[in-house]
Structure 1
Amino acid sequence: MVIDSNEPGILVIKTAQTIPNGELWLHQASSAERLDRALTCLDHPPEVADLDALEHHLNAIFAETK
């Protein structure tokens, strides 16, 4: 709620929506898109990962950089 006083003795009461500074980023278009994608991921169960294959892949990449 916002209260304005344009003249002495007259108060104008207005409804207002406020967004805390710490939550303002949630209302920006780029953040909203990222949040939508993240929430969509929650609807799909994670896939089983082959950690041995991942380790082999990462070791191969790091071996190339040496």
Structure 2
Amino acid sequence: MAKPDSDPLLTVPETAERLRSHPETVRQMLRRGDLVGIKFSSANRHGTWKIRESSIERFLRRQEYAA
């Protein structure tokens, strides 16, 4: 069984930093389903997204093109 922190949950700003993009771009990718995340309920009406590091790695692998 994997350790709980072996695949940490990242926030939208942390994910945006890793992808070198804007946080709103990450939110759009999550809403479209291009990037897989977990949406938690929160006090505000929008909720809070968390993204597993493994989801970011899968997303990046899908974006690679062979020349």
Fold shared by both chains (TM-score > 0.5): no
TM-score, with length taken from structure 2? 0.24
Of the two structures, which has the highest relative contact order with CA contacts closer than 8 Å and spacing of 6 or more?
2
TM-score (structure 1 length as normaliser): 0.25
